[in-house]
Amino acid sequence: MSASIRSQVANARTWVVKVGSALITADGQGLDVDRIDAWCEQIVAIGEAGRRVVVVSSGAVAEGRRRLGYGARAAAIHELAAAAAVGQSGLIEAYQRAFSRRGRDIAQVLLTHDDMADRQRYLNARATLATLLDLGITPVVNENDSVATDEIKLGDNDTLAAMVANLLAADVLVVLTDQAGLHQADPRLEPDAPLLGEASAADAGLDGMAGRGGGLGRGGMATKVAAARLAARSGAHTVIAGGREPRVLCRLASGEPLGTLLTADLAPLDARKRWLAGQLRAKGELRVDAGAAEAIRGSGVSILPAGVTAASGAFHRGDLVRVVDAEGGEIGKGLANYDAAETRRILGLRTTEIEAVLGFVGESELIHRDNLVVW
């Protein structure tokens, strides 16, 4: 185990702490206000020791379902949206009470996928969160589930928390869950599987260890691993730890090796590329040949028409597209310089031939390297 990374976590300035639905609602029995109070006490304590903490809290839908008497029955989308609105007010009230008791304020911040996809709104959200932290106020973030339908949803708060970590270039993402961390096999299938202490977030072996989600929250260990990978691209280490563990946040802040540490090993992306890396919904796909794939992976070059063999989807100039290799493996994603129809007309051409085909002078690249994130 790497003591130095655990101590980096302990001494990190900006933390994003994600609290899952099963944990916060005591498995759907209603908000566990005592536990919320205990986490808030710890957040205030680690904040007083100089850390900036953003909370990403689930539980709105679960609490709303309970208050509206839906139980575990399947509910329609509009009923879930209503449940989210009802539950969110209870959730935020519980946080506000716990912080007020300690003379501190919180701020409710509700985000949607579109807020993250639009660069201006993304920058606005970043400025708001940074201002709140500067004011010593703890933002409590959730997805705005009462307006986001399934097609436009981020879907799970693990992803939302990673995006918030990415937005703020946080140092640490702590995912509090109802398990002690990530086990070396899905504990639902292998109950004795030992806990994984530490791995690189990029380690492909993690996928086999992460099982599926439970009934209450949207995410399972697989979304937590994906979230750790996204957070790692902005330089944040992730700790997946048991939220029922006494004083878990304070103990992590004192360097105790609790839970599973997933480390960020790659150089962090710059601010614009962090935003790009967090984009989830591509409008199309460019397939590149082997030579182009190697050049893109190796030295982060731009994507030229000459190296592209196919373009699919209905994207417009400026839209996000995936870049895949000849076998369909994702290499990265970036913003297209041409519409899909134009792109298809210039595939395989040399840069000097573009104007004659399209009848206008455009960019010489299909995706400029500044607008391209490579995995």
Residue 61 found at the interface with ligand GLU (CB under 6 A): yes
Please report how close the Cβ of residue 297 comes to ligand GLU at its closest, in angstroms.
32
Residue 156 found at the interface with ligand GLU (CB under 6 A): yes
Residue with tokens 């390297």: 369
Residue 142 found at the interface with ligand GLU (CB under 6 A): yes
Please report how close the Cβ of residue 83 comes to ligand GLU at its closest, in angstroms.
8
Among 139, 211, 214, 217, binds ligand GLU (CB under 6 A): 217
Residue 59 found at the interface with ligand GLU (CB under 6 A): yes
Please report how close the Cβ of residue 65 comes to ligand GLU at its closest, in angstroms.
9
Residue 157 found at the interface with ligand GLU (CB under 6 A): yes
Asked if residue 370 lies in contact with residue 272, where contact means CB atoms within 8 angstroms, the answer is yes
Distance CA 146, CA 79 (A): 9
Residue 92 found at the interface with ligand GLU (CB under 6 A): no
Residue 143 found at the interface with ligand GLU (CB under 6 A): yes
Please report how close the Cβ of residue 143 comes to ligand GLU at its closest, in angstroms.
4
C-alpha pair distances (Å), 53 with each of 49, 271, 370: 11, 20, 31
Burial class of 1 by CB neighbour count within 10 A (0 to 12, 13 to 18, 19+): exposed
C-alpha pair distances (Å), 21 with each of 9, 83, 218, 220: 24, 14, 8, 11
Residue 55 tokens read as 């909370």
Residue 186 found at the interface with ligand GLU (CB under 6 A): no
Among 36, 38, 43, 62, binds ligand GLU (CB under 6 A): 62
Residue 60 found at the interface with ligand GLU (CB under 6 A): yes
Burial class of 299 by CB neighbour count within 10 A (0 to 12, 13 to 18, 19+): exposed
Nearest-CA neighbor of 355 among 344, 304, 363? 363
Residue 6 found at the interface with ligand GLU (CB under 6 A): no
C-beta of 29 vs 299, nearer to ligand GLU: 29
Residue 164 found at the interface with ligand GLU (CB under 6 A): no
C-beta of 59 vs 307, nearer to ligand GLU: 59
Q: Which stretch binds ligand GLU (CB under 6 A): 27-35, 212-220, 232-240, 355-363?
A: 212-220
Q: Hey, what long-range contacts does 292-296 have (CB within 8 A, 24 or more apart)?
A: 293/325, 293/326, 293/331, 296/323, 296/331, 296/332, 296/372, 296/374
Distance CA 239, CA 258 (A): 8
Please report how close the Cβ of residue 226 comes to ligand GLU at its closest, in angstroms.
12
Nearest-CA neighbor of 39 among 344, 319, 250? 250
Residue 166 found at the interface with ligand GLU (CB under 6 A): no
Please report how close the Cβ of residue 374 comes to ligand GLU at its closest, in angstroms.
28
Among 218, 229, 274, 322, binds ligand GLU (CB under 6 A): 218
Among 58, 184, 343, 371, binds ligand GLU (CB under 6 A): 58
Q: Which stretch binds ligand GLU (CB under 6 A): 52-60, 185-193, 307-315, 321-329?
A: 52-60
C-beta of 217 vs 243, nearer to ligand GLU: 217
Distance CA 182, CA 205 (A): 12
Asked if residue 288 lies in contact with residue 251, where contact means CB atoms within 8 angstroms, the answer is no
Distance CA 273, CA 267 (A): 12
Among 51, 125, 129, 145, binds ligand GLU (CB under 6 A): 145
Q: Which stretch binds ligand GLU (CB under 6 A): 34-42, 140-148, 252-260, 320-328?
A: 140-148
Distance CA 364, CA 354 (A): 8
C-beta of 20 vs 332, nearer to ligand GLU: 20
Site for ligand GLU in 311-350 (CB under 6 A): none
Residues within the interface to ligand GLU (CB under 6 A): 21, 58-62, 142-143, 145, 156-157, 217-219
